[in-house]
Amino acid sequence: MLKNFIYICMGAGLLACSSVTTIHTSAERVEVNSVYDHENRIDSIVQPYKKDLEKEMLEVIAHADHDFTKGRPNGTLNNWATDALLDNQLRTSKGQRQVMSLLNVGGLRNPISKGDVTVGDIFKLMPFDNNVVWVEMPIEVLPEIEAYLRKRGGEPVGMVKIEKGKIRFLDPISNSKTFWIITSDYLMNGGDNMSFFEKKVSFENDGVLLRDVFLEEVKMQKVLRYNNEERITFE
Amino acid sequence: MMERRDFLRNTVVVSAGVLVAPSLFAKGTSNSENHLTILHTNDTHSNIDPFPENHSRYPGKGGVARRFELINKIRAEEENVLLLDAGDIFQGTPYFNRYGGVLEMRLMSELGYDAATMGNHDFDAGIDGFVKARQYAKFPFLCSNYDFTNTAIDGHTDDTFIVQKGNIKVGIFGVGVELKGLVPDDKYKETVYIDPIDIANDRARDLKKQGCDLIICLSHLGYEYGSDKVSDRVFAQKTRNIHLIIGGHTHTFLEKPTEEKNLDGETVLVNQVGWAGINVGRIDFQFEKKAFAKKDVLIVE
């Protein structure tokens, strides 16, 4: 039979001289769960990494005198995060620019609780590897951003006040045709439906992680700066 | 778990109705040399430990040590097993942030992965970061539509991979998603993305010419899009000679593989099993010995 097969294949000059042809298939999705709990050599490979990581994640880098929580329109975590971002980014001057910071409530993934603040807490707050970006926006887009913020019921902002829904820069530069939003690349690229970023004039991305910025600021502050001002009002 | 016996019974029932004389077929099934089990993952995203028990969506699911147990159990039951991954091995837990993907590669090697392709997040440690972690991988990375010529990755990936499992010769290649806009430019540097369809047709034809019985494409294109962006479903329809597309990128949880028709009207299976190592996909192929080679026919139970 096999001889016969090879003979026919060669004789016919077929491209694929397979010994098997028709294929029957069946499929299933197998869930990885506690059914498969069993001490094995994977655990022993992971263990040193895990121990090391836990040590790093448990390192206390600051103290919080209050709970920092997110909220709409305002939250103490909102204020902390947008201010930390500004402090960090304005330390190295980018020239005379009209600036505000903007993050999203959804992106602040975990509150900071009163007490010790660990590296792990900041990883929980910002688990994503989003980069910090500076986005140059035409001043005419402000009403669109105001409408967005009103619709959302507020998002974390810094260097601005939003009074009855209107954005007011704390440090206004007259006759500026554009302004800069310091935010994350995730939001700039349309995350959380911030489609107004499509109207950007330019942007700068230095490849700095938002989480690293937070870590840096937490370490510098030692005691986290608590600010419960009501930055946003709509009525 | 699927019992092998059920699988065989199903196979016979279907083949009796659709194909050939059951007596002929029964001979084939008695031979485990004609049986191949494909196990696959995608978008594991550095999830080494299971999700915590208080996780809002996937409490206590996943974990590499458990995946190891699961795979070993199947290896003990089946003669011919292939273990494949469709990319985005990196990024998602501090394990990646701190160790740059080294642990992920070490563990995949320990699990006995046969091949993987690169996802967009596998560029997250940069070109050099990937090469550094890649040293710990004892399996090939298959990338056909990225031109790495002017980058440090050049020479660290393969175009195609052929492996003999029992009587079955398997040919595998891989395609990846367009990186621009998805990955910061400085991460992928001078990597050039090439439209995957023409390349895939070339690779699949080459593999067929080399006598492969089963041709698998590891894809990080994504399952489907609302736009005309090339997805696995579109890719399946616009190519020929591919039997199975193991997909990733969109974190799609498919219950079972989707069947598409390729350019020649033949069936192509497209599968994807979510992300984070919550699931392992399993696809069993039973090949039938025939007197002479005709066009391949894929029968899906």
Query: Is A30 in contact with B288 (Cβ distance < 8 A)?
Result: no
Q: Which of B44, B45, B68, B187 to mutate to test the interface with A (most CBs of A within 10 A)?
A: B68
- Bridge partners (DSSP) of residue B84 are B40, B115
Closest CA to B174 of B233, B244, B240, B106: B244
Query: Is B287 in contact with A21 (Cβ distance < 8 A)?
Result: yes
- pLDDT, residue A114, reads 93
CATH class, range B35-51+58-286: alpha beta
Handedness of CA B206, B207, B213, B215 (dihedral sign): negative
Which residues does chain B have with pLDDT short of 50?
Answer: 1-30, 291-294
- pLDDT, residue A191, reads 79
Q: Does domain A56-221 have CATH number 3.90.780.10?
A: yes
Query: Is A21 in contact with B91 (Cβ distance < 8 A)?
Result: no
Instruction: List chain A domain ranges.
Output: 56-221
Q: Which of A1, A5, A8, A23 to mutate to test the interface with B (most CBs of B within 10 A)?
A: A23
A45 interaction partners in chain B (CB closer than 8 Å): 103, 106-107, 110
B281 interaction partners in chain A (CB closer than 8 Å): 27, 29-30
- pLDDT, residue B56, reads 72
Q: Is A129 on the interface with B (CB under 8 A)?
A: yes
A21 interaction partners in chain B (CB closer than 8 Å): 213, 287-288, 290, 293-297
Cα A106 from Cα B46, distance rounded (Å): 23
Instruction: List chain B domain ranges.
Output: 35-51+58-286
Q: How many angstroms away from the CA of A208 is the closest CA of chain B?
A: 11
- pLDDT, residue B130, reads 98
Burial of residue B52 (CB within 10 Å: 0-12, 13-18, 19+) is exposed
pLDDT (tens digit, 9 = 90+) per residue, B169-178? 999 999 999 9
Please name the residue of chain A whose CA is at the shortest distance from the CA of residue B110: A42
Cα A183 from Cα A85, distance rounded (Å): 8
pTM over 0.95: no
**What is the ipTM score, two decimals?**
0.87
Tens place of pLDDT for every residue, chain A, 235 residues? 233 232 223 323 334 445 566 778 899 999 999 999 999 999 999 999 999 999 999 999 999 999 999 999 999 999 999 999 999 999 987 778 999 999 999 889 888 999 999 999 999 899 888 999 999 999 999 999 999 999 999 999 999 999 999 999 998 988 889 999 999 998 998 878 899 999 999 999 988 999 999 999 999 999 999 999 999 999 9
pLDDT (tens digit, 9 = 90+) per residue, A189-216? 887 889 999 999 999 998 899 999 999 9
